[in-house]
Amino acid sequence: MHQRSCFRPPGPTCLLVGLLSVTCLGSDPWADTVVDWVPGLGGAPGYDDPGTAIGPPERFSGEGMSPGVVSPFQPAWAPHELVSLGAGGSLILGFDDWIENDASNPYGIDLIIFGNSGFIDGGYPFGIVNGLFGADGGDISLSDDGITWHPVPGCLADSAWPTLGWLDAQPYDDVPGNEPANHLMPMDPELNWEDLIGLGWDEVMSAYGQSAGGIGIDLEDVMLERVRFVRIHNPEDAFLSPEIDAVVDVPADQPADLNGDGATDVSDLLLLLEFWGGVEAGHQADFDGNGLVDVTDLLYLLESWTS
């Protein structure tokens, strides 16, 4: 059985002055506020700060203790990176801007939730999928007013797909990569993680493409045109406790955001310059698809500048 991998407001207004001087009005795609937090019973000790679900998903975990990339085989794990709900626990996150039902979004997905599930490695350290761990559930419901809630059918918050931090890192690297996965790009909802069982790292990376994983939600499935609130609730009789990393609004147009942080800024400019020259077909920085990262791509990035 396939699990559904489970508008933005008008884009930021930017004024390009000269080559690098940019004035911009815009906002990020991450959840902005903790509206309500009810810790449940049996949550992971120390993982009780709901504010960790604000902002982008983790790419690199365990700094100062046991550092490593976030990968489908090595999820984020530090207490300052995740919140654990416990049985009966509930977390409501709010967005400053509307999350809109937009068919022009990739795969029609409007929202992505990142937990801390991971693939069991059947051939450590080579990254061979042999199952899923840490898929601890969590019911999802959405609201446009914070009062009336609409359950998302057949979709759990802490499940597949596990988070991928970097496109050019190996599953257990202890230093960050150079090519970040795109937190704003949902997984193809037609893919099923179970189809990867027995397959290795290269096949896993091929399945992810540019995506960073997560649980994708199409507002069409709950017959809502727009929402601003996301609630994750763990049933009182739940045996497992879901952990939540981040919730992300998927923008319709995002090619110039090379590092997937929700903004097109100097970090993306530096990445583009790093890729300058001939590149393979479909490369993320080759916006016009001519096989080169060149001045045309630079100008496109600057026109998309958001901060």
169-227 pLDDT, tens per residue? 999 999 999 888 989 889 999 999 999 999 999 999 999 998 999 999 999 999 999 99
Please check the confidence at residue 133 and state whether its pLDDT lies above 70: yes
Instruction: Please indicate, yes or no, whether residues 277 and 221 belong to a single structural domain of this protein.
Output: no
Instruction: Please indicate, yes or no, whether residues 123 and 160 belong to a single structural domain of this protein.
Output: yes
Instruction: Please indicate, yes or no, whether residues 228 and 271 belong to a single structural domain of this protein.
Output: no
Instruction: Please indicate, yes or no, whether residues 248 and 297 belong to a single structural domain of this protein.
Output: no
Structure tokens at 266: 């100097």
Dihedral angle at the C-alpha atoms of 95, 96, 101, 102, nearest 10 degrees? Answer: -120
Looking at the chain, the whole-number percentage of residues with pLDDT higher than 90 is: 73
Which domain covers residue 173, as residue numbers? 13-253
Asked if residue 111 belongs to a domain, the reply is yes
Asked if residue 6 belongs to a domain, the reply is no
Q: Domain ends where: 221, 237, 253?
A: 253
Task: Assess contact for 84 and 242: CB atoms under 8 A.
Answer: yes
Q: For residue 291, what pLDDT is reported?
A: 85
Instruction: Please indicate, yes or no, whether residues 60 and 123 belong to a single structural domain of this protein.
Output: yes
Instruction: Please indicate, yes or no, whether residues 44 and 117 belong to a single structural domain of this protein.
Output: yes
Stated pTM of the model? 0.81
Asked if residue 61 belongs to a domain, the reply is yes
Instruction: Please indicate, yes or no, whether residues 300 and 200 belong to a single structural domain of this protein.
Output: no
DSSP letter (8 states) at residue 30: B
Q: Which tops the pLDDT comparison, 151 or 264?
A: 151
Q: For residue 262, what pLDDT is reported?
A: 63
How would residue 128 be classed by pLDDT, with cut points 50, 70 and 90?
very high
Total number of domains constituting the chain = 2
Closest CA to 127 of 201, 192, 216, 182: 201
Q: Domain ends where: 253, 277, 297?
A: 253
Of these ranges, 1-15, 22-36, 136-150, 247-261, the one predicted with the greatest mean pLDDT is: 136-150
Q: For residue 27, what pLDDT is reported?
A: 57
Sole residue written with tokens 């019911």: 139
Structure tokens at 94: 């709010």
How would residue 26 be classed by pLDDT, with cut points 50, 70 and 90?
very low
Q: For residue 111, what pLDDT is reported?
A: 97
Closest CA to 126 of 63, 199, 195, 193: 199
Instruction: Please indicate, yes or no, whether residues 212 and 259 belong to a single structural domain of this protein.
Output: no
Asked if residue 65 belongs to a domain, the reply is yes
Instruction: Please indicate, yes or no, whether residues 17 and 110 belong to a single structural domain of this protein.
Output: yes
Asked if residue 274 belongs to a domain, the reply is yes
Asked if residue 7 belongs to a domain, the reply is no
* Mean pLDDT taken over the chain: 88
Instruction: Please indicate, yes or no, whether residues 290 and 210 belong to a single structural domain of this protein.
Output: no
Instruction: Please indicate, yes or no, whether residues 113 and 165 belong to a single structural domain of this protein.
Output: yes
Q: Which residues is 118 bridged to in the sheet?
A: 133
Task: Assess contact for 231 and 32: CB atoms under 8 A.
Answer: no
Asked if residue 1 belongs to a domain, the reply is no
CA–CA separation, 299 vs 307, rounded Å?
Answer: 16
Q: Domain ends where: 253, 275, 297?
A: 253
Instruction: Please indicate, yes or no, whether residues 108 and 142 belong to a single structural domain of this protein.
Output: yes
